[in-house]
Amino acid sequence: MPDIILGSIINNYLNINSAIITLVTIGLITIITIVAYSLERIIGKSSPSYQKFFKHLIEGLVLTFSMIMLQQIFHILNTGSINHGWLYANAQLTILLYCMYLIRNKITLLINILMPFAYYTSINLDRLENKNLPFFAVSYIFLVIIVIYIYQQTEKLQRSEWKYLIMQLFFGLSWWILLWVDHSFPMLEIINMLIVFLIYMAIIRFCAKKLEDTMINYDDLKVKVNYDELTGIRNRASLDKTAQELFETYSNEEIPLTVTMFDIDHFKEFNDTYGHSTGDEVLKHVAQTIEREMFLGDAKGELFRFGGEEFIIVFRGKKPAQCIPIIANLREALTNTPLVLNGEKLEITISFGVSKLDKTDLNFDDLFNRVDRYLYESKNLGRNRLTVEGLTYNFNKLTK
- What does each C-alpha distance from 344 to 311, 339, 341, 349 come to in angstroms? 25, 8, 5, 16
How far apart (Å, rounded) are the C-alpha atoms in residues 163 and 167? 6
Rounded CA Rg of the chain: 31
Q: What is the pLDDT of residue 11?
A: 56
What is the value of pTM for the model shown?
0.51
Domains in the chain, start-ordered, CATH in brackets? Answer: 2-226 (no CATH), 236-398 (3.30.70.270)
How far apart (Å, rounded) are the C-alpha atoms in residues 89 and 197? 9
Number of Cβ within 10 Å of residue 14's Cβ equals 9
Which of the residues in the chain have pLDDT under 50? 1, 80-83, 400
How far apart (Å, rounded) are the C-alpha atoms in residues 374 and 380? 10
Q: What is the pLDDT of residue 54?
A: 86
Rounded (5°) CA angle 165-25-1: 55
Distance from the first to the final alpha carbon of the chain: 91
Helix (H) or strand (E) holding 312: strand 310-316
DSSP string over 50-106: HHHHHHHHHHHHHHHHHHHHHHHHHHHHTTT--TTHHHHHHHHHHHHHHHHHHT--H
Sign of CA dihedral 298, 304, 310, 312: negative
Per the CB < 8 A criterion, the answer to whether 187 and 180 are in contact is: yes
Q: What is the pLDDT of residue 62?
A: 87
